[in-house]
Structures are given as structure tokens and as C-alpha cells.
């Protein structure tokens, strides 16, 4: 009977074979080396400006629909805000965590670009050249080093490459019909520029996988049902943006200024993009909190345009469809990069055109279109070339790729040298340590963080009670946002350490030649309200006294403790608006209460000793 029982065969799972070879191996090595350089840049960078507003806003909000669909400076980016919320809930202000996530997404974009190139060209040398152009593109590095920009730029690059790779697979193999649509939705979730992804996919697919005239191939491509879905996705995104446009508040766009536009376009299209596309700008100037701005020398600009013109002419001479690639690239840079930048950022100065982050996504198309202009894709007709390429021309192309890598590394290292996050890093480290060791019932008053952390025009959002709240435990965070009257309140000093309040400015008045102020005296104070304002009182009272502080008709009450003959100081937060400050003892306690000095304004640490 035992012999008659068939033995169970072991379960065998056959995995699909993964094609590997020199191109894949060298390509992965190029990606790894590029990530090492990018990690070096991130090690010199740190949180800047909008980063603090994002983290503080995430800590102040739940993962709600209202939070996710909030428009920030023209950007509708629920995916980016969801990432901010998630990382903030795990470890607020952790640059290590942010850097790891950013590098991971950049690695995914680079690997997906290798997949895209191999789907188009197979295992050819042009794959490695185009991959090198993208992964070492200096245009993409500044955007990656500033987290607020990286939240848009890096996932957008991944989504753009993923959508192209997915749709090419669908056209050629009939697999993954909706994958490109999913990638497009991901791109839109992280950047408003994601709306241009379908147009890029349509342009590239019809130009190089279609037959005949480009326009006819595009019409044929549009007959696929998937494009109806893309249209609905774009329409839905547009409606959502329109409905949520007013949620930007103080971050709403104000529209471009005509006098700024020409200079911005000259810098962005005439200098920043062309020099960056060929490995520049080599030189960075106008150092800002986010690093250097592109400042190429005139010779670099001329050399860049000369090289670009030479590439266009040579590729069009030898390749019939080369002009299509250049047309796609030019259209994208103008329509997807320049026009939105003008609309959103041409408001104050044209130096915005020197910020490479506004054309970072174009680095993907620059590398891809260069490859498409040079090399026919697999399956193209045999007459794709007008004439055979001379051997010397291929050798020159390899030499240019090496030169590009050298120049790019020099540009990346030069940009890294413009970064210095040490001061801000020290401030946050001190604030974190101070909050961890502070007394559980410490009263912490708000004051503005240094302007190198958050600029003054952000109003109440630059107060320590907002920016540093994510580092505090829930009880301390609540006291920071709703401070109590206190005899010994603390503030964060310029280095991020908690110190006792030592002064209140700008208003101060003390008795002159009299022992006490008369009851009912009105001090000439004018307040515009807002959090962070404090009334300070120097007084003498042999017993606890209940006082009412009236500012512009708004009253705040506090119970002041008894003092010795030398008196004491007491602080009352006051957000009242109006003119006239009056401090009165309640009931019949006025006879025992002697008010000797009054100050009103922002609390701060004691001034340094002379």
C-alpha cells in the first residue's frame, strides 16, 4: 500500500529570467556612483525655509483631506504632503531620514530610466551614455538638496520615466495598459507639472513608435482607450485645483510682473538650462539659504549653445527623426518649465531664472531626447538614418560623454561647496536637547526664529511656538502655543537653547522720582496683536494680588505672587489689539500693590554683557 502511494512532488516556482549583461552592470555602477556624489551633497545640506513650514504644518494637522489638498505657493501636491506628514510623525526634523528617502526615490528614478532606455534601444552603448547624462545632471542636484523642492522634483522625474517605460511596454507588448496612467497620477500627486506627463508620453510614443507622419501617428495613438482615461484624470485634477485654489492663504500666487519676465526668461532659457544640460554651469554665485544660483561665465554660455547647436545639426544630418526629439525637448522646457515659472515666480526679481530647480525635470528629457536624436529605437524602419555614421563620429560621441561627466562632477562639487547647513543644524540640535531636558511645567514663550531659518515675511509661522513645536511633547507643545502668565518664562535664544526671558521690547517705562505708578495709569502702548506679545511688570506686593491687564479693551487676568521688599518681575502674554495699556489690581488689593515698571513687546533673552 505504501508503494502504491504517489510521493508528493516538491513545489517548484519558476521566476522570470532577468536579463543581465555589461550594459546593466555598468549602468547600475553609474547609478551607484552618482548616488554617492548626491549623498555627499545632502551631507552638506539641511532643512531650509519652506521645510520648516511643511514640518510644522504637518505636526499641526491630521492626515485629513483638507491638509492633503492644501495649495502651497501654486502647488497642489497631496502626495508630497502625505510624505511630509508620515516622516514628521516618525521623526520630526530628521535630516538623515529625509536624505535616505530622497536618495531612495532618486535611485528608483535612475533605475527606471535605465529600464526605459533598454526598452527603447536594447543593450547598446547609447543606453549608458544617456544614463550618464541623466544621473550626473547638475540640473537635478540643487532641487534634490532642498527638501521642499525635492518633494516635487524627484518623484516627478520618477513618475515621468515610469509613465514612459510603462506605455512603451503597453504599445509593444500589450501589457500594463493602465500602468502609465497610474504613474501619471503619482506625478500629479507630487507636482503640478505632472499634468504634462501625458503629453510627453504621447509625443515620444507617436514620434518613435508610430509610423508615417508624426501628426498622423499621434492621431492613431490617441485612438487607444487609455487616452480617454488620461483626459479624465487631467480634468479631475484641474477641477480639484480650481476648488482648492483659495486654500493657499498667504501663499497664494500674486501673478507675474512684466518688468521681471524678460530677465527671468533670459536667465532660465538662455543660461541656466543650456549650461546645465551640457554639464555646467561650473560656477555658482548669489548664494542663498538653499545654496548657490547658476552663474555661468559668458564663455560657458557660448560654449554650451555652440555644443547644443552642433548636436542638433549633426543628429539631424544623420538621423531622419532626430528633429522630433529636439522639438519635444524644446516644447517641454518652454511649456512645462518656463511658462509655469513665469506665472508663479516672476514677482520680484529675475534671479529666479538662475535657480536650476525650475528645470530639473527637463534633465530627464534632455538625456532621453539626446539618445532618441542619435540612435534609432528598436523596430524603427531601416531608413531611419539618412546615411551611416562615420566611425570617428561615434568615437567623438564617446569622448563628449566623458567630458560631460568630468564637467558635471566639477559643477556638482562646486555646488556642494555653497551649502552650509551647520548653523541651522546646530540650532535645531540645541532646541531638541533643551526641550528634552526642560522641566515638565516650564513656560516657554514664543519669539521669531532666526531669519536664516524662516524669513520674516512668514509672520506668525516663524515663531518658535510653530516651528519648534514638532520637537516638543504634547503637553509642552500646548503650553508653547497657549502660554501662561509666569514669573520665570523661557525663550529660545539665537542658538536654539532655552534661556530665561531677560527683556521685553520695544516698549519700556519705569517710575521716575515716585515710588509707584498711580492706580489707573494708562501707558502709551499700541499693539497690532498676534501671538508672541508679552506684558512685563516689575512690582512689589506683600501678598498675592490679582491684576487685570487691559490692552485696547482686551483684558487678560493673572495672579501675581507676593514679593519681598526688592520686588519681582511677572509676565503676562497678551494678544490684544489697540492703544492704551492699563494694569489694575482687582478688588481692594490696590493698596498693597506697587507697580514700578512696565514693558510690552516681544520677549527675548537678556542682552549680552558689554
The pLDDT assigned to 392 comes to 77
DSSP three-state, residue 29: helix
**Pick from 63-67, 153-157, 419-423, 459-463: least confident:** 419-423
Tell me how far apart the alpha carbons of residues 598 and 574 are, in angstroms, rounded to a whole number. 13
Tell me how far apart the alpha carbons of residues 408 and 414 are, in angstroms, rounded to a whole number. 10
Which residues lie closer than 8 Å to 123 by C-beta, 6 or more apart?
21, 22, 23, 24
pLDDT digits (tens, 9 = 90+) for 127-138: 999 999 999 999
Average pLDDT of the chain to the nearest whole number: 90
pLDDT above 60: residue 5: no
Confidence of residue 4 (pLDDT cuts 50, 70, 90): very low
pLDDT above 70: residue 7: no
The pLDDT assigned to 6 comes to 40
Q: What proportion of the chain, given as a percentage, has pLDDT over 70?
A: 94
The pLDDT assigned to 278 comes to 95
Helical pair 298-318 and 391-416, crossing angle rounded to 10 deg:
150
Can you tell me the mean pLDDT for 590-599?
85
Q: What proportion of the chain, given as a percentage, has pLDDT over 90?
A: 72
- For the beta carbon of residue 485, count every other beta carbon within 10 angstroms: 21
pLDDT above 50: residue 2: no
Cell reading at 344: 508663479
Helices (DSSP H) in 209-297: which residue ranges? 214-221, 226-244, 261-267, 273-277
96-101: list long-range contacts, CB under 8 Å, 24+ apart: 98/47, 98/147, 99/39, 99/42, 99/43
DSSP three-state, residue 113: helix
CA-CA distances (angstroms) from residue 166 to 59, 188, 375, 393?
36, 16, 21, 32
pLDDT digits (tens, 9 = 90+) for 301-359: 999 999 999 999 999 998 889 999 999 999 999 999 999 999 888 877 888 899 999 99
The pLDDT assigned to 252 comes to 65
The pLDDT assigned to 393 comes to 83
pLDDT above 60: residue 118: yes
pLDDT digits (tens, 9 = 90+) for 178-234: 999 999 999 999 999 999 999 999 999 999 998 889 999 999 999 999 999 999 999
**Pick from 281-285, 352-356, 420-424, 442-446: least confident:** 420-424
Query: 310-336 in b/e burial notation, b at 16+ Cβ within 10 A?
Result: ebbebbbebbebbebbbebbeebbeeb
The pLDDT assigned to 14 comes to 38
Query: Which residues are bridge partners to 588 per DSSP?
Result: none
Tell me how far apart the alpha carbons of residues 77 and 148 are, in angstroms, rounded to a whole number. 11
The pLDDT assigned to 589 comes to 60
pLDDT digits (tens, 9 = 90+) for 557-593: 999 999 988 889 999 999 989 999 999 887 666 567 8
Q: Could you tell me the domains of the chain?
A: 22-416 (no CATH), 424-605 (2.60.120)
pLDDT digits (tens, 9 = 90+) for 482-491: 999 999 999 9
Tell me how far apart the alpha carbons of residues 465 and 490 are, in angstroms, rounded to a whole number. 12
Burial of 356 (0-12, 13-18, 19+ CB in 10 A): buried
The pLDDT assigned to 92 comes to 95
pLDDT above 50: residue 12: no
Cell reading at 544: 498675592
Helices (DSSP H) in 60-138: which residue ranges? 65-68, 78-90, 95-121, 125-135
Confidence of residue 18 (pLDDT cuts 50, 70, 90): very low
Amino acid at each position: 500500500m505504501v508503494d502504491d502511494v504517489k510521493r508528493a512532488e516538491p513545489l517548484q516556482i519558476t521566476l522570470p529570467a532577468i536579463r543581465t549583461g555589461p550594459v546593466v552592470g555598468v549602468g547600475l555602477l553609474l547609478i551607484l556612483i552618482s548616488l554617492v556624489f548626491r549623498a555627499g551633497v545632502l551631507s552638506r545640506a539641511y532643512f531650509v525655509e519652506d521645510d520648516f513650514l511643511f514640518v510644522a504644518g504637518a505636526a499641526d494637522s491630521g492626515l485629513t483631506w483638507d491638509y492633503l489638498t492644501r495649495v502651497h505657493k501654486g502647488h497642489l501636491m497631496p502626495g508630497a504632503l502625505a510624505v511630509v506628514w508620515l516622516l514628521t510623525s516618525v521623526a520630526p526634523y530628521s535630516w538623515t531620514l529625509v536624505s535616505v528617502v530622497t536618495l531612495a526615490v532618486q535611485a528608483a528614478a535612475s533605475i527606471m530610466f535605465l529600464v526605459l532606455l533598454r526598452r527603447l534601444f536594447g543593450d547598446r552603448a547609447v543606453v549608458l551614455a544617456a544614463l550618464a547624462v541623466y544621473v550626473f545632471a547638475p540640473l537635478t542636484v540643487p532641487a534634490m538638496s532642498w527638501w521642499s523642492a525635492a518633494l516635487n522634483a524627484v518623484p516627478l522625474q520618477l513618475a515621468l520615466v515610469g509613465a514612459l517605460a510603462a506605455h512603451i511596454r503597453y504599445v509593444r507588448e500589450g501589457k500594463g495598459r493602465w500602468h502609465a496612467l497610474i504613474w501619471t497620477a503619482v506625478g500629479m500627486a507630487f507636482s503640478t507639472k505632472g499634468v504634462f506627463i501625458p503629453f510627453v508620453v504621447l509625443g515620444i510614443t507617436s514620434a518613435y513608435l508610430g509610423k508615417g507622419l508624426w501628426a498622423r501617428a499621434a492621431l492613431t495613438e490617441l485612438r487607444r482607450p487609455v487616452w480617454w482615461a488620461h483626459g479624465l484624470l487631467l480634468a479631475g485634477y484641474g477641477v480639484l485645483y480650481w476648488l482648492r485654489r483659495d486654500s493657499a492663504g498667504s501663499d497664494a500666487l500674486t501673478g507675474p510682473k512684466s518688468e521681471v519676465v524678460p530677465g527671468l526668461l533670459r536667465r532660465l532659457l538662455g543660461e541656466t538650462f543650456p549650461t546645465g544640460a551640457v554639464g555646467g554651469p561650473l560656477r555658482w554665485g548669489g548664494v542663498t539659504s538653499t545654496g548657490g544660483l547658476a552663474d555661468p561665465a559668458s564663455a560657458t554660455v557660448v560654449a554650451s549653445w555652440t555644443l547644443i547647436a552642433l548636436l542638433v545639426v549633426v543628429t539631424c544630418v544623420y538621423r531622419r527623426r532626430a528633429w522630433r526629439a529636439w522639438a519635444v525637448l524644446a516644447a517641454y522646457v518652454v511649456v512645462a518649465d518656463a511658462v509655469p515659472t513665469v506665472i508663479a515666480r516672476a514677482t520680484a526679481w529675475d534671479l529666479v531664472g538662475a535657480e536650476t530647480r525650475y528645470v530639473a525635470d527637463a534633465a530627464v528629457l534632455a538625456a532621453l531626447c539626446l539618445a532618441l536624436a542619435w540612435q534609432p529605437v528598436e523596430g524603427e524602419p531601416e531608413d531611419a538614418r539618412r546615411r551611416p555614421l562615420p566611425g570617428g563620429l561615434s568615437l567623438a560621441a564617446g569622448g563628449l560623454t566623458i567630458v560631460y561627466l568630468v564637467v558635471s562632477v566639477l559643477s556638482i562639487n562646486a555646488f556642494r561647496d555653497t551649502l552650509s547647513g551647520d548653523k541651522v543644524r546646530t540650532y535645531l540640535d540645541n532646541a531638541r536637547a533643551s526641550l528634552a531636558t526642560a522641566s515638565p511645567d516650564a513656560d516657554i514663550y514664543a519669539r521669531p526664529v532666526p531669519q536664516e531659518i524662516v524669513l520674516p515675511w512668514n509672520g506668525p509661522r516663524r515663531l518658535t511656538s510653530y516651528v519648534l513645536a514638532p520637537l516638543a511633547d504634547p503637553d509642552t507643545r500646548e503650553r508653547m502655543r497657549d502660554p501662561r502668565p509666569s514669573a520665570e518664562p523661557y525663550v529660545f535664544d539665537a542658538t536654539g537653547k532655552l534661556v530665561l526671558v531677560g527683556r521685553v521690547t520695544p516698549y519700556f517705562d519705569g517710575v521716575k522720582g515716585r515710588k509707584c505708578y498711580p492706580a489707573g495709569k494708562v501707558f502709551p502702548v499700541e499693539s497690532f496683536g498676534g501671538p508672541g506679545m508679552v506684558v512685563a511688570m516689575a512690582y512689589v506686593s506683600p501678598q498675592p494680588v490679582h491684576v487685570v491687564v487691559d490692552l485696547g479693551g482686551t483684558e487678560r487676568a493673572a495672579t501675581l505672587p507676593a514679593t519681598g521688599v526688592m520686588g519681582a518681575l511677572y509676565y503676562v502674554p497678551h494678544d490684544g489689539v489697540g492703544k492704551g495699556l492699563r494694569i489694575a489690581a482687582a478688588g481692594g488689593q490696590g493698596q498693597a500693590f506697587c507697580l514700578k515698571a512696565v514693558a510690552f513687546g516681544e520677549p527675548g533673552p537678556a542682552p549680552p554683557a558689554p
